[in-house]
Amino acid sequence: MGYRALELVIQSAQGLRNVHNAPQLRKMNPFALVSIRDNNNNLHSSEEQTPIDSEGNTNPKWNFHVTFNIDITRVKENHLALVVKIKSRRITGNRDVGEVRVLITELEGFGDANAVAERHVSRNVVNLDGTSQQGEGTLNFSYKFGNTVQHPPASTVNIGNSATPNVQRRPGTARRFMGKFKDELGAGLASVAATTAIGAVLTNFNPFGAESSAADPSGVDLSGAESTVADPSGVDLSGVDSSANYPVDDANDEEGY
């Protein structure tokens, strides 16, 4: 049957029901999830998220652009619908506000093989169980169909004015935190590596040069077998038997180290 693009603009919602506790004290932070689904709620596209309107409360505005490339035969056989789920962001867990579900075959212009002019629609928001109550609100969106083509277009989802070969979703709080954590961890590991390298250089650094004959503070020469540095006591340690004449003080030796 062919394929065609369904270009959408999820514009705004009005008169939504505030689903938070103490709604008179707490505003909503509404956003919407947009997708193509069948009667069993199975996904037949990606699910795209609008921005969060933290100021709109029960009358949010998004003006979110998204394009789905649809298979006309699959739309008819599976009774596919455009589904817009409205939620309100909360740190302790998002709250469901309601949804709008419209069969694609019922969108005006679907039966026309040629591109159609943009159309504006307002639909009632209903509960997730499909019932509607007074004060649930309305969703406003616009759409238009592209020309019918015989071969499937490139597998892209257009968001705004850009097209991406793989759908790029807005990262959630946890993903943004993990990304920041990995960046900071990498910087921390680099700092540790640099500190270790500097420590190694300082450990091997000899301020007396390669020919130095500096002695250990204990008086024992650590610089080479040919050293003639003597113990502060005046006893020469360069001879074979000199160690026998060196007075050992165990208590002082432990204290020095």
Give tens-digit pLDDT for 122-143: 999 998 765 655 558 999 999 9
Rounded to an integer, what distance in angstroms lies between the CA atom of residue 134 and that of residue 15? 10
17: phi then psi, degrees, rounded to nearest 5? -80, 130
CA 193 to chain centre: 27
On whether the pTM is more than 0.75, the answer is no
Rounded to an integer, what distance in angstroms lies between the CA atom of residue 43 and that of residue 38? 7
Local confidence band at 90 (pLDDT 50, 70, 90 cut-offs): confident
| Average pLDDT across the chain, whole number | 73
Predicted local confidence at residue 134, as pLDDT? 56
Mean pLDDT along residues 74-101: 93
Local confidence band at 121 (pLDDT 50, 70, 90 cut-offs): very high
Predicted local confidence at residue 15, as pLDDT? 93
Predicted local confidence at residue 33, as pLDDT? 98
> Tens of pLDDT along 168-180?
334 444 555 555 5
Measured CA distances, 201 to 167, 187, 215, 217 (Å): 49, 21, 20, 22
Half-sphere exposure of 109 (CA within 13 A, CB side): 19
Q: Has residue 243 got a pLDDT over 90?
A: no
By the 8 A CB rule, do 121 and 140 touch?
yes
Rounded to an integer, what distance in angstroms lies between the CA atom of residue 222 and that of residue 151? 82
Comparing 170 with 68, which gets the higher pLDDT?
68
Which amino acid, residue 184? E
Closest CA to 86 of 110, 117, 52: 52
Long-range contacts of 15-18 (CB under 8 A, 24+ apart): 15/58, 15/59, 15/135, 15/136, 15/137, 15/138, 16/58, 16/59, 16/60, 16/86, 16/97, 16/98, 16/125, 16/136, 16/137, 17/58, 17/97, 17/98, 17/133, 17/135, 17/136, 17/137, 18/57, 18/58
